[in-house]
Amino acid sequence: MWFVVGRRVPDPNSGLRAFRREDVAPFLPVMCGGFSFTTSMTTLYLLSGRTVSFVPIPYRRRLGRSKIRFVRDMLRTGQLLCSVILLYNPIKLFVLLAGGTVAVALPLFAVALWRGSAAFGLAGTLFVLFAGVFLCFGFLADLLANSRRNV
């Protein structure tokens, strides 16, 4: 969550949320229903500059079985966070993609130097070029997101 909103969020899925219906209404088209509603509401409020307070409370261990399915709900939350990043700060997602692509290119260059292999050098160069393309797409997406918000 910190990467997305730039702030530590103790637990995005639990706690009491107090809000006015008219304040959350503009976000409804992009909010997830069900389990991820609380995560999406917290994320969207923080990204739009609304006030969010986290007050720690004592609570007991859960009785019974959890309804959370780890892999399924982790994938849904990841999808939600990617969607929200693309709406509010798309450059973050594209910088992450470009960084991952460069991280793949560096070992390829190392192998190319170690073995003297032109094929690995070419593959590393292609990955660096893809990273540049990701950054360009990120700049365009960020420009579009900012122009949409300023209208």
Kindly tell me the burial class for residue 25, based on how many C-beta atoms sit within 10 Å of its own C-beta (0-12, 13-18, 19 or more): exposed
Residues 124-142 have pLDDT tens digits of: 999 999 999 999 999 999 9
Taking only the tens place, the pLDDT of each residue in 10-31 is 777 677 777 888 888 887 777 7
- State the chain's mean pLDDT as an integer: 83
Q: Among 45, 44, 36, which Cα is nearest to 14's?
A: 36
CA angle 33–41–24, rounded 5-degree value: 90
pLDDT digits (tens, 9 = 90+) for 30-84: 776 666 777 778 888 888 888 888 887 777 777 888 777 778 877 887 887 788 8
Residue range 91-110: mean pLDDT, rounded: 94
Sorted by where each begins, the domain ranges of the chain are: 1-88, 89-151
pTM attached to this predicted model: 0.67
- Whether residue 151 is predicted with pLDDT greater than 50 in this model: the reply is no
25: Cβ contacts below 8 Å, ≥ 6 apart:
none
